[in-house]
Structure 1
Amino acid sequence: MRLFTKQFAVVLLALSASISCFAVHQVGGQLEMRAVGDVPGHYRILVTNYMESGPRADNQRGGRLGIFRKRDNFLMTQISLQEIGQRQSIIYANEYCANQRNLKFIVATFEADVQLDPATYADLQGYYVSYQTRNRNAGIDNINSPSQTGFTFYLEFPALQQNGQVFVNSSPHFGPINGEYICVGEPFIYPFGATDPDGDELRYSLVTPLDQRGTNQNSVSAGPYPDVRWLSSYGATNAIPGSPPFRIDPQTGQLSVTATQLGLFVFAVKVEEYRNGIKIGEVRRDFQFLVIECPPATTPDPAVQISNRPANLRNATICRGDSALLQATFNSNWNYQWRQDGINIPNATGASLAVRESGRYTVVVSLKTACSKTGNSQDVIINVLDNNAKLAVAGHLCATTGSVKLAVPGGSEVNYQWYRDNQPLAGQTTDSLHITQAGRYWTTLTHKTAGCVFRTDSMSIERSPAVQAVIRSASGSTRICPQDSLQLEGSGGIRYLWLKDNQMIQGATEARHFAKTAGSYVLTASDADGCEGVSTPFLLTQVPPITVVFDSIPAVCGPDNPVYTLVSSPQGGEFSGVGVVGNAFNPKQAGVGNHQLTYTAKAAPECANVTVSRTAVVAPIPTIQLDDITTYKGNTFELAPALTGDPDVFSWTPTTYLSDASVPNPSVVSIAGDITYTISIKNASGCEASDSIRITVLERVWIPDAFSPNGDGQNDVWTLAGIEAFPDAVVTIFNRWGEVIYLSDKGYSKPFDGTMNGTALPTGVYPFTLRTVPEQPVVRGRLMLIR
């Protein structure tokens, strides 16, 4: 079996081998992630899987893949895959070699349609997709235990939301492959590059293929994923021994090697995706090549020419529906395989090929009875002319102006003839036409060499209605009030330009304009096609400004005052405020207070009010409330009259005993005798009031706080010095329980002697009260009785 595997190599292919497990023999493949483009986060994830054809491959029905967060390998979601399309067989350049060794390989594509929330997939370290399956081909010569080694298909993609914005990206796209083999000792190149749907930069490198994590078929497991185990002397950059060595062009992805050793070799390519110099994703792709010993036969050299054309003609143009016959050198000992744009064409295995589609065609030739070197023809380019030429239109016909350019692509190999309303236009034979008249236009294209005649679609060109630019005043007025503007409203278009007195108003490009000065205003309106209309002039005048005067209003004392006539200018305005009736102010109606009165006038009826104000003061009449006072001789106390009317001037007479006669609350200091004071007050409005207070001065009673009724002739009674000045005085003495033990007659004619009903009272403290005169407060205290 080992000898058999060292005879032939195919891209993505591996020989069938007898192994004990029943897993599908995997050949290669890759993941792709395509943005659908309808709503943010809508993607299709595809698994392209190359497998050995047979019952085991027939049972392969997709499985599941996982999406993980790179930062912590967190599983975001699991997705089931469904097979799409028909499975295709790999087409070999040398079918003889493939059939001889029963090499039958297929490609199956599985897909998942997913809706990912960009807000959920916003981690800036990105995410990865993995799809795992088993097993590899047992005949692989550069890794350890290949039949027990699995595949991990791997793809990285960026955060779907970055800086608050949705980030859209599709992974690199890989085209179909051809069956190929490598002849030992012969230079070999293979176009292995991808294309990027977003135009991102792709960088290629050789890496070690990834093994499966776990042992279950199509398991969903987080990374990191193990590398396959290379046998000694093999690695990522020398997976195929060679001189020059096995390499990949980092910019184009083209593989090259001159192999020095026979065998079946697996390798992997990493494609990194860069946008604006920043890596945003990557994808890995696994493949296999078989290196064989090619017989030292002469390499077939097929020559291809286009039938009925000169032999050196390498390109041709045909009409749609026609065909070109490509004829290669015939040799009954050769196998033929035709290619279109580098891809093998199914069942195109003859010496000739009828071509009906545009493309780059080549033929690969090999010997029928040997796995030898192949020969490749030169390229032949076939261009098929289509009859779906469309007119391109630029410009527009306005009501009286404008022009339109009609154009159609065709190149220098085409003759043109333009028509209007079914009539040919003399001299109009280029690829474009400039028109200023309405009508229905088209052109015919006649290919100079192929003779194909095509007619374009027809285009009806009409003049648009005239743009009616109109100016109106939003208020209906044509006068501008002082210190104000007048709103003008334009209509008739979607773009506008305002002019005043034939001068453009800078920045005035909206449908609405606020005019601040008098003049002649004109509006130019444009419709969606750029057609213009100009309004008739709209004249605005200026209303002269006015100066409003409101004379001051004298203050009055109290509401009982006559009605006051208000004076203002200019006439015709309106007074308002509390107490205002017409042009007069009524203090009684207004009442006491400071009243804000206004006078409002207008420069014109449509203009804003001009208002001035004055304060009408109806001042309160001050009042004084004073109560007569009885006090003791020598007392110092404060006079505290109750005042109203907001007085601010005070005068007391006489000034005897007073601390300050010009304040509302003076102090009476050490009064010695009866006196009557008069206070006069005045407020800010000049309103006055006065009142008097009578002060009666009484003699003072001296009250001792202790006496000793012990019969020694000293302090035997409680003597109150000065009590004789108060003939109506009443003294009451209590024990500690609040019981009355002594109550004098009026005047305290019999002093307290320390007894009660003839019984001596014990030593102690006794509370007392003394009422000198009824209008004075009761004097309260405690006396000490000492035995």
Structure 2
Amino acid sequence: MRISTFRYIFWLLAVAQPLAVLATHQVGGQLEMRAVGDVPGHFHITVTNYLEDGTRGAASQGTSGTVGIYRVRDNTLMYSFTVRQTGGREKVIYANEFCAAQRNLNFIVLTYEADIQLSPNTYNDEQGYYMSYQTRNRNVSINNVSTPDQTGFTFYLEFPSLLKNGLYFQNSSPHFSPINGEYICLGAPFTFPFGGTDPDGDQLRYSMATPLNQKGGNNVNGGGGGNQNSLSPAPYPELNWLPGFSATNAIPGSPTLQVDEQTGQLTVTATALGLYVFTVRVEEIRNGVKIGEVRRDFQFLVIDCPPQTVPDPVAKFQASPDQQAKTMCLGDSTLLQATVNADWNYQWRRDGINLSGATSSSLTVREPGEYMVVVSQKAACSKVGNSENLRVIVIGAAAKLFEAGHLCATTGSVQFTVKGDDDVTYQWYRNNQAMAGETADSLRTEQPGRYYVRLTYNTLGCKVNTDTANIQRSAAVQALIKSSTGQNRICPQDSLQLQGSGGSSYSWEIDGTTVGGSEQYVTSKPGTFVLTATDFFGCKGTSPPVAIIQLAPIVVTLDSIPDVCGPNNPVYTLVGSPSEGIFVGPGVMGDQFNPKDAGVGNHQITYTVKVAPECQGTVAIRTAIVAPIPTIELRDSLTTYTGNTFSLNPVYTGEPTQFQWESATFLDNPNAANPTITNIEKDITYTINVKNKSGCPVKDTIYIKVLARVWVPDAFSPNGDGMNDTWELPGIEAFPDAIVTVFNRWGEIVYSSEKGYKNPFDGTLNGTSLPAGLYAYAVRTVPEKPILRGSLMLVR
């Protein structure tokens, strides 16, 4: 797979630009998390950033950043903290600095660090947690990613719950040595040590993965603007591979870029020029179960190395040129000497890692390891030559004290072991004093102090002291029981929550019987409670016994409250039992109920008594009724005619429920709110007596005048003398719907009344006096009666 001509020309131009132009981008990096070991949950966090060096690159990276910790189960942000730059910006060492400079491969390492304290009781979710550090942005010249200049980084690390079965789960993430500066020669086999070590001895499993992009806010171009370092939860977007590229084909080759699952060593024989990014997932395995994960990002440049003679250096021990290995005591040194050639560049490595400043033909070493020298032509970008490995064995370098166990306040023990060779003797020391008879490779102690071992290696007589372990007793576990109410009593028909403290796991006893095992215990029964608390180290403490009693229930009563008619009534004293309770409700002040303050209505009054201040009250309820005073809207009198049937239609307020009419004559129902008067025959007076359900009374009276007929006069004289000026019809008031019509001799209507004949005929039409003479009339009283017709003489 070859890159296109355009992309190849663009890439050649990009890598040939001055350093200040390109030095703006992130190259790779990873997160690390190391348990400090002094206090459970104390961790040292390291963010390793590999950057292109240069003015703009340095300016784009500040001296601090932000890391977020999230819960895997639901991506909840648990904690965010600041990591700050420590030390200088270390240069990434290349074996052939000439070629690195020529190709603008000028990288630095920027390290951010922080110490954090996490509570094991908080970080106890069995699905674990992850932390992320997000930053931007990548190099525009990258050849396997779409829009790389708008693609950022997410460094990702997973870690397990800090508690397992109530005990602290000690764990550190994998640790990684500094990365060598390397380029890949086209068509040449290439290997690269990309693995790490695990401080806890966990198995590490390596695999290729797709790099993660920055989530949100990255979209920046060439480093201008945008969010340099942001916080956001997973899932994190993956970068977009160009067609033909993938996690397992990040660098095209035969074979493509691969990683050894066990060692983390990268291998590739590249078949295409370009700049390529990749990611290795490092999974942490303990007892066959994955407990964590780290992702490492980096990038390699594939160049076409000119066909130069490859140097073939030879490295030897100066004092022992025929040996491939040398053994010496800790603190001694030996000199390594390589073939001297004035045209060569030298770079010494220990265990595959370039050593800073080790660029001469000789090297003085004091540390154990596999040493080799990498040699390249001084003024050519060519393939490098490697010497054979020289092994340096330092007796006592591996002498390290291991400890297991813990000293509680009064119990516990610590088991020490030391790593040594077969031909060695041991002497244990406590507080700088030799311990009599303690000459084995292990020691169990129940005493605090400062311990170390002096190892004497019989072969060379080397004497080496291990590191010192300072063992102290932890403070006594203070198991305490506290109730949620602050009182050691259970309210009636309730339960009591007991809160344990002092440990990371708990065991409860009630009257000598073990129950429950969490931090909280809820009881609805009395008894004597004892709590055993166990801390992160397995140390135990027992609480003093706590007696919990049960409070007896009480019966609460509230005397009935009499109804009152209207708010203008005296204040009423409320009576409840037992005493010392609290009355609550509208119009209530203390034990007094004021109808005026309450107002008209049905008011709920409660009386609450608590058996103890922390308990829910027992409540009695009554209703105080301030009833409205009823009212009646009823005419004082009316006139009707003999035999009429009608209703009075009174209007009531105040929610009346009882009705009594006096008298009952002509009524269909004297107890109805609106009875029907049937076939009335004579004048009569009715009285209505009303009460509502509270007994509030009211009454009203109506007089009914009954007329037998309407009398129609046959003449009237509208001459203005004040006598008979209008045509009056006595008895017409008994017929409120009556209509009167007057006609002239030609049958034309000269007068027509509204209902009830309220404005009698006055002998005019439209304000003009009608001539004297004979006029006809028609009087309609009710629809079921015949119309009265006749003649009327108008006299002037």
TM-score normalised by structure 1 residue count: 0.54
Cα distance between partner residues in 1 of 2:313 and 2:31: 47
Cα distance between partner residues in 1 of 2:384 and 2:610: 103
Report the count of equivalent residues: 590
Name the % identity. Answer: 36
Question: What does 1:130-529 align with in structure 2 at a 5 Å threshold?
Answer: 130=140, 159-160=152-153, 175-176=180-181, 190-193=189-192, 195=194, 201=207, 247=254, 250-251=257-258, 267-268=273-274, 270=276, 272-273=278-279, 275=281, 283=299, 285-291=301-307, 314-324=324-334, 340=349, 355-361=365-371, 378-385=388-395, 391-410=401-420, 412=422, 414-471=424-481, 477-486=487-496, 488=498, 496-510=506-520, 515-527=523-535, 529=537
SS of residue paired to 1:129: coil
Deviations 1:580-603 (A, max 9, x none): 999999999999875655555555
SS of residue paired to 1:130: coil
The aligned amino acid for 2:180 is G
The aligned amino acid for 1:429 is T
Partners of 2:661 and 2:687 within 8 A in 1: yes
Cα distance between partner residues in 1 of 2:699 and 2:402: 105
Deviations 1:473-507 (A, max 9, x none): 67675443312345656565565443211233325
Cα distance between partner residues in 1 of 2:630 and 2:375: 129
Distance 1:156 1:40, change over 3 A: farther
Cα distance between partner residues in 1 of 2:326 and 2:177: 33
Deviations 1:102-134 (A, max 9, x none): xx989872669899xxxxx999xx9641369xx
Query: Structure 1: which 5+ residue stretches go unaligned?
Result: 1-21, 49-60, 68-82, 93-97, 99-103, 116-120, 133-151, 183-187, 205-217, 227-236, 239-245, 258-264, 367-372, 710-716, 734-740, 742-747, 763-782
Cα distance between partner residues in 2 of 1:203 and 1:598: 69
Alignment-derived partner of residue 547 in structure 2: 539
Task: Establish whether residue 33 from structure 1 lines up as the match of residue 32 from structure 2.
Answer: no
Distance 1:374 1:413, change over 3 A: farther
Query: Structure 2: which 5+ residue stretches go unaligned?
Result: 1-15, 33-43, 61-87, 113-132, 159-172, 197-203, 211-221, 225-239, 243-250, 260-265, 284-293, 377-382, 719-724, 735-739, 743-750, 752-757, 773-791
The aligned amino acid for 2:303 is F
Distance 1:544 1:636, change over 3 A: same
Task: Establish whether residue 693 from structure 1 lines up as the match of residue 699 from structure 2.
Answer: no
Partners of 1:266 and 1:289 within 8 A in 2: no
Distance 1:397 1:200, change over 3 A: closer
Cα distance between partner residues in 1 of 2:297 and 2:485: 63
Cα distance between partner residues in 2 of 1:638 and 1:388: 118
The aligned amino acid for 2:529 is Y
Distance 1:415 1:637, change over 3 A: farther
Cα distance between partner residues in 2 of 1:535 and 1:113: 51
SS of residue paired to 1:463: coil
Partners of 1:624 and 1:642 within 8 A in 2: yes
Aligned counterpart for 1:631 among listed residues 629, 639, 644: 639
Partners of 1:630 and 1:698 within 8 A in 2: no
* Shift, 1:674, TM fit: 1.7
Cα distance between partner residues in 2 of 1:386 and 1:639: 122
Distance 1:601 1:106, change over 3 A: closer
Alignment-derived partner of residue 657 in structure 2: 648
RMSD of aligned alpha carbons: 7.2
Cα distance between partner residues in 2 of 1:552 and 1:43: 80
Alignment-derived partner of residue 621 in structure 2: 613
Cα distance between partner residues in 1 of 2:464 and 2:176: 40
* Shift, 1:522, TM fit: 0.9
Distance 1:599 1:308, change over 3 A: closer
Deviations 1:49-93 (A, max 9, x none): xxxxxxxxxxxx8888999xxxxxxxxxxxxxxx9889999769x
Deviations 1:145-182 (A, max 9, x none): xxxxxxx9x9779544699x9xx9x99986356999x9
The aligned amino acid for 1:175 is N
SS of residue paired to 2:705: strand
Distance 1:155 1:282, change over 3 A: farther
Say which is worse superposed, 353-362 or 193-202, in terms of deviation. Answer: 193-202
* Shift, 1:436, TM fit: 0.7
Alignment-derived partner of residue 665 in structure 1: 674
SS of residue paired to 1:521: strand
Partners of 1:677 and 1:692 within 8 A in 2: yes
* Shift, 1:425, TM fit: 2.8
The aligned amino acid for 1:674 is D
Deviations 1:424-446 (A, max 9, x none): 23443344422112333221123
Task: Establish whether residue 129 from structure 1 lines up as the match of residue 100 from structure 2.
Answer: no
TM-score normalised by structure 2 residue count: 0.53
Partners of 2:91 and 2:109 within 8 A in 1: no
Partners of 2:182 and 2:300 within 8 A in 1: no
Alignment-derived partner of residue 687 in structure 2: 678
Partners of 2:426 and 2:456 within 8 A in 1: yes
The aligned amino acid for 2:430 is R
Deviations 1:195-253 (A, max 9, x none): 3789864599xxxxxxxxxxxxx999xxx9x9xxxxxxxxxx99xxxxxxx95564266
Partners of 2:659 and 2:688 within 8 A in 1: yes
Distance 1:640 1:269, change over 3 A: closer
Partners of 1:699 and 1:725 within 8 A in 2: no
Distance 1:690 1:360, change over 3 A: closer
Cα distance between partner residues in 1 of 2:25 and 2:463: 46
Distance 1:621 1:599, change over 3 A: same
Deviations 1:240-296 (A, max 9, x none): xxxxxx955642665679xxxxxxx995574543659999978451423333699xx
SS of residue paired to 2:332: coil
Question: What does 1:55-70 align with in structure 2 at a 5 Å threshold?
Answer: none
* Shift, 1:365, TM fit: 11
Larger gyration radius, structure 1 or structure 2: 1
Deviations 1:653-710 (A, max 9, x none): 4455546543222344565542222334343345666554221134666899xx9x9x
The aligned amino acid for 1:675 is I
Alignment-derived partner of residue 7 in structure 1: none
Partners of 2:430 and 2:450 within 8 A in 1: yes
The aligned amino acid for 1:612 is A
Distance 1:202 1:531, change over 3 A: closer
Deviations 1:352-399 (A, max 9, x none): x76544343458999xxxxxx999875331133566966444332223
Partners of 2:27 and 2:52 within 8 A in 1: no
* Shift, 1:518, TM fit: 0.9
* Shift, 1:533, TM fit: 2.1
